[in-house]
Copies of this chain bind each other. A is one copy, B any other.
Amino acid sequence: MPSTPLDRTARTRRDVLDAAIEVWALDNTASLGAVAAAAGVGRTTLNRHFPDRAALVAAVDAECRARFGQAVERAELRSGTGWERLRRFCLEVLSLGPVLGLVFADNALVDPDSWVEGEEDDPFALVVVQGHQDGSLATDLPLDWVVTHVWTSLFGAHLISRSDGPLRHEAGQLLVRTLDRGLAG
């Protein structure tokens, strides 16, 4: 197999991708020049790997989708009560770091809703349904509300994690504790 030439292109491509995620997580309107600079790459090189802005955005979306999928895998959403699954889901998703900054962006470059066909494919919604059925999640809180509330709470925990405050490393624990009390059945 071809070793070096392909490896080099793949590596710079990944550098640009990582830089885009990191930069756009903080400012989703940052210019391609800023992304290239953050990647330690010339703007020409960036355009060589990604013909236009849309191509880079698509690649970023695919990368985030992949990382999100891995987090869902790690969360083992097929064992335990609904709440236990939800708890693992939250901790795994929170560990995604800058990816969350893109998901929660205003005019999101990355939209998890576009990753699933309908409610039946959304691992998140399925977990909540499970919790409603086994009674580990309050049944007087509608599905849509729980989903939205957990997402925005994740956002809050993400903000705390990426801050420089003393709570930086406890965000996950605080999130789980608060959600447990707020949503338990």
Residues of A within 8 A of B (CB): 27-29, 105-107, 138, 140-142, 144-145, 148-149, 151-153, 155-156, 159-160, 165, 167, 171, 174, 177-179, 181-184
* CB-based contact B106/A141 at 8 Å: no
- In the complex, A33→B165 CA distance in Å? 41
* CB-based contact A106/B144 at 8 Å: no
- In the complex, A28→B105 CA distance in Å? 11
* CB-based contact A141/B29 at 8 Å: no
Known A-B contacts A106-B27, A153-B153; A160 and B184 likewise in contact (beta carbons under 8 Å)? no
Number of this chain's copies in the complex: 2
When distances are taken between beta carbons in the complex, the residues of chain B under 8 Å from A167 are 142, 144-145
When distances are taken between beta carbons in the complex, the residues of chain B under 8 Å from A107 are 27, 29
- In the complex, which of the residues B149, B160, B177 contacts A144, with contact meaning CB atoms closer than 8 Å? B160
* CB-based contact A174/B145 at 8 Å: yes
CB distance from A97 to the nearest CB of B (A): 17
When distances are taken between beta carbons in the complex, the residues of chain B under 8 Å from A181 are 138, 181-184
- In the complex, which of the residues B28, B138, B142, B174 contacts A106, with contact meaning CB atoms closer than 8 Å? B28
CB distance from A69 to the nearest CB of B (A): 24
What are 23 inter-chain pairs, A to B, with CB distance below 8 A?
A: A29-B29, A106-B106, A138-B181, A141-B174, A141-B178, A142-B167, A145-B171, A145-B174, A148-B160, A149-B174, A151-B156, A152-B153, A152-B155, A152-B156, A153-B153, A155-B155, A178-B182, A178-B183, A179-B182, A181-B181, A181-B182, A181-B184, A182-B182
- In the complex, A165→B11 CA distance in Å? 45
When distances are taken between beta carbons in the complex, the residues of chain B under 8 Å from A29 are 29, 107
Q: Which 7 A-B pairs have the closest CB atoms?
A: A182-B182, A152-B156, A106-B106, A152-B152, A148-B156, A178-B182, A145-B174
